[in-house]
Amino acid sequence: MTSVDASIKPLLTVESLCVHLGSPRIEAVRGIDFSIQPGEIVGLAGESGSGKSVTALALTRLLPEKAAPAYRGKVSFAGSPDNLLSLGERALRQVRGSGIGYIFQEPSASFNPVFNIRSHMEEVLRLQKVPSRQSSQRIEQAFGEVGIPADSTHLEAWPGDFSGGMLQRTAIACALLAEPGILIADEPTTALDASTQKRIVDLLKRLNRERNMAILFISHDLGLLKDIASRILVMKEGRIVEGGPVGKVLTSPKDPYTRQLLDSLPKLRR
Ligand SMILES: Nc1ncnc2c1ncn2[C@@H]1O[C@H](COP(=O)(O)OP(=O)(O)OP(=O)(O)O)[C@@H](O)[C@H]1O
C-alpha cells in the first residue's frame, strides 16, 4: 500500500455531492464530501443500497439517462477548476477516457459481446488518439501487466469466451490502456471465487504501487477493504457516516452503523 503525503494536492475532490434519480425520485446521495490523493487507495463501504455505486457513477456523470439523474455539488479532478458535474460532454469523455477509469462487479459490463477483445482495446486507444502503429505494443504491454498473453487466441476471443476472473483482468487491462490517474473499482471481486478474488486484489495493489494509480475501491466487505485500502469511508442512506485510516476505523469505529457492519463480519476476517 503506497503511503501518502498529506501535503500533496488531492487528485479528486468531491464537495457536497447530491444525486436525485429514478421514479419515484429518490435522493440516493445526500451531500457527501471526500478527496483522494494521487496514489492513494480509498475504500468506500456501506450496505446494499447505501449509495456507493451511484456515487461512483456520478463522479463522471455515468448514471443511465433513463434514471434521469440530477447532480448537485462539485467534483474536481487533477487540479482543474472545472466541475465534472457541469462539464461539456466532449471534455467529460476525455476525463472518463484518460483520467478516471472504471471496473465493475460484473466484468461483462465493461464489454460489448459482439466485439472481440482486440476491438475493445483498439477502441480505447483510438479514443486516446494513440497512433495505430503503437497499438500492438500498447496492447501487449497492458495484457502483460495483468498476466495475459497478448497472442491471437486471447486477442481474437469474444468476451463470452473468458472466465469471470480472466474477463476482469482484461477489463483492468482495457482501463490501463488509458493510463488513468484513478481507477474506480466497484465491487470488482464480488462475482469471483475466493482465489480469483485474491489474484485481482493483488493485481490492483501492484498496479497502485508501480503506477502510483489511485483507487476508489467499493465494497460492502470491510475485511477486504482492510487488506487493500489505507483509508475508508462508510456510507449509510446516501451519507458518509464515518471516515479515516482503515486501522483506526476498523479497530475503534465511532459510528454505531460501522460497528454493526463490523459485527456482521466473521471474526477471522477482521
Ligand atoms: N439506475 C437507477 N435508477 C433508479 N434508482 C437507482 C438506480 N441506481 C441506483 N438506484 C437507487 O439508488 C440507491 C443507492 O443505490 P446504489 O446502487 O448506489 O447502492 P450501493 O450502496 O452501491 O448498493 P450495492 O452494494 O447493492 O451495489 C438505491 O435506493 C437504489 O435503488
Of the two residues 163 and 261, the one the predictor is more confident about is 163
Predicted local distance difference test score (pLDDT) of residue 7: 66
Residue 268 confidence (pLDDT) above 50:
no
Q: Is the pLDDT at 262 greater than 90, yes or no?
A: no
Q: Sign of the CA dihedral 194, 104, 69, 17?
A: positive
Find the 119 Cα to ligand 1 centroid distance in Å.
Answer: 31
Q: What cell was used for 23?
A: 421514479
Taking only the tens place, the pLDDT of each residue in 182-233 is 999 999 998 888 888 888 999 999 999 999 999 999 998 888 999 999 999 9
Q: Give exposure, 55-70, as e/b (b: 16+ Cβ within 10 Å).
A: bbbbbbbebeeebebe
| Ligand 1 binding pocket mutation candidate from 27, 29, 47, 53 (most atoms within 8 A of CB) | 53
Distances (CA, A) of 77 to 15, 37, 60, 211, 223: 12, 10, 10, 18, 29
Q: Reduce the DSSP state of residue 218 to 3 states and report it.
A: strand
Summarize the confidence of residues 238-250 as an average pLDDT. Answer: 94
Q: Which amino acid is at 197?
A: Q
To the nearest whole percent, how much of the chain has pLDDT over 90?
69
What's this model's pTM, rounded to 2 decimal places?
0.92
CA of 52 to the centre of ligand 1 (A): 8
Angle among Cα 49, 53, 58 to the nearest 5 degrees reads 125
Res 4: pLDDT: 53
Helices (H), the chain: 52-58, 89-94, 117-127, 135-145, 152-155, 164-177, 194-211, 222-228, 246-251, 256-263
Ramachandran assignment for 237, one of left (phi > 0), alpha (psi -120 to 50 degrees), beta (any other): left
Q: How far apart are CA 57 and CA 80, in angstroms?
A: 20
Answer yes or no: is pLDDT of 34 > 90. Answer: yes
What pLDDT score was predicted for residue 97? 73
Sole residue written with cell 482503515: 246
Q: How far is CA 201 from the centre of its chain?
A: 12
Residue with cell 473468458: 162
Residue 1 has pLDDT above 70, yes or no: no
Domains of the chain and any CATH numbers: 12-110+180-196+205-269 (3.40.50.300)
- Looking at residue 261, its pLDDT comes to 83
* Mutational test site, ligand 1, from 23, 27, 52, max ligand atoms within 8 Å of CB: 52
Is the confidence metric ipTM above 0.95 for this complex?
Answer: yes
What is the per-residue pLDDT for 209? 95
What average pLDDT does the structure give for the chain?
Answer: 91
> Average pLDDT of 109-137?
90
